[in-house]
């Protein structure tokens, strides 16, 4: 009898211990532990291919067999082209929705246009995806989007934070903006998306690159083919205005940008043509052996939509940097697929999107999660900051 009672007590104590152990394993993490990333962003869903190299650029394709359905989202280029999205200068007039859903322009008095703010309205039946670095042309100055975000269906006119990339012009026949089919190159995009300072954006435009030259080691094989003076001469052809898009015109900067782009495009297409049950969803980009940048999307369709614009932006950055005798390793590129553990800043529009920035040393990771119709990470940017 005593043994039975002792056995029961011992069993109860073991049961409590086991439950305590389970509680320790499955309980919520303490304050000192980083949050666990949601399943949609597991690194194991991505596979890194061998690099596509040309001159001083190496582009590692990122592929996945788990491409999400992103057809529910509208891109800025599509929306501006069809008129479903309207972007205008702020201050001179206000955009409001009429009772029938149409857009009504209400004049604003004693106000004026603002360099770092535009007004956007989404008239489509799909949420609008905006990426930091996308260029809109028109109005009084060309601007770039400052942050990744989603504009929901039926939202009121949105004050949109932007950065000017056209230093000098402040006139325009139309208040409205059009798609420029351009994403600014990484140096400018870093200043807009991470530093968020207008003067530094202008400096990056004028200088071409904000990457520092190597202070030690062998001298570069080739100097930058797109120098700061040639960029300055291209964007300041009339002596009064600096237009960013002139950088992309080969004749303006004296560099065959289109030839460079087409050669990388051809090599990239050949390297990714034999995929089975996988899609290219992103890239990791290195310059002369230094891994610098990555853009990864939730689907192959989204990547395909942005690829041409991204490739041209990577090319401008490559031409603005010197060429060294080095090629980035696959191991170093794979570091850009891991999730950072560091300081986290978040912004959320409940039920619409969550924007997250994680900083670890010189690395910065920016993610945009759509919260409807289900939670997925639409875009993930990871970069090695130059300052």
Q: What digits encode the pLDDT tens for the residues 353-387?
A: 999 999 999 999 999 999 998 999 999 999 999 87
Using CA atoms, how far apart are residues 383 and 291, in angstroms rounded to an integer? Answer: 8
| pLDDT at residue 100, rounded to an integer | 58
Q: Report the chain's mean pLDDT, rounded to a whole number.
A: 82
| pLDDT at residue 238, rounded to an integer | 54
| pLDDT at residue 29, rounded to an integer | 37
Please, are residues 116 and 201 in contact by the beta-carbon 8 Å criterion? no
| H or E element in which residue 345 lies | strand 343-349
Closest CA to 196 of 374, 76, 366: 366
What SS3 class is residue 107? strand
Using CA atoms, how far apart are residues 91 and 128, in angstroms rounded to an integer? Answer: 23
| pLDDT at residue 137, rounded to an integer | 86
| pLDDT tens, position by position, 194-220 | 988 899 998 898 888 989 877 667 778
Handedness of CA 249, 251, 253, 259 (dihedral sign): positive
The number of CA neighbours under 13 Å toward the Cβ of 120 is 28
The number of CA neighbours under 13 Å toward the Cβ of 333 is 27
Q: Which letter does DSSP use for residue 157 in this model?
A: P
pTM exceeds 0.85: no
| pLDDT tens, position by position, 219-265 | 788 888 887 777 877 776 554 455 788 888 777 677 888 999 999 99
Residues 6+ apart with CB under 8 A from 276: none
| pLDDT at residue 172, rounded to an integer | 52
What Cα–Cα distance (Å) separates residue 164 from each residue in 189, 196, 265?
12, 11, 29
Closest CA to 248 of 158, 326, 176, 182: 182
Structural Rg of the chain based on CA atoms? 25
What SS3 class is residue 207? helix
| pLDDT at residue 360, rounded to an integer | 96
| pLDDT at residue 325, rounded to an integer | 83
Please list the ranges in the chain whose pLDDT falls under 70: 1-44, 91-114, 167-175, 215-216, 236-242, 252
């Amino acid at each position: 009898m005593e043994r039975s009672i002792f056995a029961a007590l011992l069993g109860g104590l073991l049961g409590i211990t086991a439950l305590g152990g389970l509680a320790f394993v499955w309980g919520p993490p303490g304050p000192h532990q980083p949050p666990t990333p949601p399943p949609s962003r597991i690194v194991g869903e991505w596979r890194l291919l061998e690099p596509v190299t040309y001159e001083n650029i190496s582009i590692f394709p990122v592929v996945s067999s788990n491409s999400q359905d992103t057809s529910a989202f509208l891109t800025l280029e599509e929306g501006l082209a069809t008129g479903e999205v309207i972007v205008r200068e702020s201050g001179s007039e206000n955009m409001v929705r009429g009772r029938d859903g149409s857009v009504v322009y209400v004049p604003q008095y004693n106000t004026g246009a603002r360099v770092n703010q535009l007004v956007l309205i989404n008239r489509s039946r799909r949420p609008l995806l905006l990426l930091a670095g996308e260029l809109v042309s028109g109005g009084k100055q060309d601007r770039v989007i400052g942050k990744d975000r989603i504009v929901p269906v039926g939202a009121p006119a949105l004050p949109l934070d932007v950065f000017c990339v056209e230093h000098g012009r402040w006139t325009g026949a139309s208040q409205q903006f059009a798609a420029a089919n351009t994403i600014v190159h990484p140096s400018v995009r870093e200043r807009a998306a991470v530093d968020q300072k207008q003067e530094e954006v202008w400096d990056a435009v004028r200088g071409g690159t904000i990457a520092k030259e190597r202070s030690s080691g062998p001298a570069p094989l080739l100097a930058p083919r797109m120098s700061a003076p040639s960029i300055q001469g291209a964007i300041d052809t009339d002596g009064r205005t600096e237009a960013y898009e002139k950088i992309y015109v080969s004749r303006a900067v004296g560099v065959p940008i289109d030839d460079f782009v087409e050669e990388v495009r051809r090599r990239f297409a050949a390297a990714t043509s034999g995929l089975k049950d996988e899609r290219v969803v992103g890239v990791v980009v290195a310059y002369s052996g230094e891994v610098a940048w990555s853009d990864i999307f939730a689907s192959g369709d989204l990547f395909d939509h942005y690829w041409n614009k991204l490739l041209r932006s990577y090319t401008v950055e490559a031409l603005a940097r010197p060429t060294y005798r080095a090629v980035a390793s696959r191991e170093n590129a794979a570091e850009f697929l891991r999730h950072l553990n560091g300081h986290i800043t978040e912004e959320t529009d409940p039920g619409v999107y969550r924007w997250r920035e994680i900083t670890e040393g010189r690395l910065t990771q920016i993610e945009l999660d759509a919260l409807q119709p289900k939670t997925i990470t639409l875009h993930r940017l990871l970069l090695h900051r130059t300052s």
